[in-house]
């Protein structure tokens, strides 16, 4: 898979999940650069300050302090260049139908992907 994205931001509080997801993103050449944040609030600050300008974001739902849906509320308030072109993929182990519905109804979320991320899942979102 050729990299379609310049920068991918991965937001997840779980070190092992970040390690695995990053390796899959890198080995598939999904993006030229993968930036990892273990905190949604940190990721919001990076975006607000322009420290990272992602084309794609992989976002976990369940995180301490600020979860994925709270991130999206703060993201909605951001005035950043190219925001409408950023693809957000909800990457979660949640099987809660309410989470899937909430994701499907969110204007920023492109796809809901169940953890762990796989090469097949990346190929599916690319079509």
Instruction: Give residue 40's pLDDT.
Output: 98
**Confidence band, pLDDT 50/70/90 cuts, at residue 124:** confident
> Does the pTM exceed 0.85?
yes
Mean pLDDT of 3-8: 86
Mean pLDDT of 101-126: 91
Q: Which of 72, 88, 73 is nearest to 9 (CA)?
A: 88
Percent of the chain whose predicted confidence (pLDDT) is above 90:
86
Interatomic CA distance for residues 75 and 111, integer angstroms = 17
Gyration radius of the chain over CA positions: 13
Instruction: Give residue 31's pLDDT.
Output: 92
- Reported in sequence order, the residue ranges of the chain that DSSP labels E, i.e. its strands, are 5-11, 31-37, 56-59, 87-92, 109-114
| Statement: residue 120 has pLDDT above 80 | yes
Domain of 49, in residue numbers? 5-125
Q: Which of 50, 48, 46, 44 is nearest to 65 (CA)?
A: 44
Interatomic CA distance for residues 30 and 50, integer angstroms = 22
Q: What's the pLDDT tens digit per position in 20-68?
A: 999 999 999 999 999 999 999 999 999 999 999 999 999 999 999 999 9
Mean pLDDT of 79-93: 93
**Confidence band, pLDDT 50/70/90 cuts, at residue 8:** very high
* CATH code at position 105: 3.40.50.2300
| Sign of the Cα pseudo-torsion (50, 72, 43, 66, in order) | positive
Determine what percent of the chain falls in helix, strand and coil, rounding each to the nearest 5. 40, 25, 35
Q: What's the number of domains the chain is made of?
A: 1
């Amino acid at each position: 898979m050729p990299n379609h994205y310049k920068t991918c931001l991965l937001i997840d509080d779980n070190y092992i999940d970040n390690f695995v997801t990053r390796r899959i993103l890198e080995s598939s050449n999904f993006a030229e650069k993968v930036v990892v944040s273990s905190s949604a609030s940190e990721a919001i600050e990076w975006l607000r300050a322009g420290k990272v300008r992602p084309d794609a974001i992989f976002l976990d739902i369940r995180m301490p302090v600020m979860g994925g849906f709270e991130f999206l509320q703060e993201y909605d308030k951001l005035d950043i260049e190219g925001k409408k072109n950023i693809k957000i993929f909800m990457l979660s182990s949640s099987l809660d139908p309410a989470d899937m519905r909430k994701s499907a109804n969110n204007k920023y979320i492109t796809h809901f992907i169940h953890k762990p991320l796989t090469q097949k899942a990346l190929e599916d979102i690319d079509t």
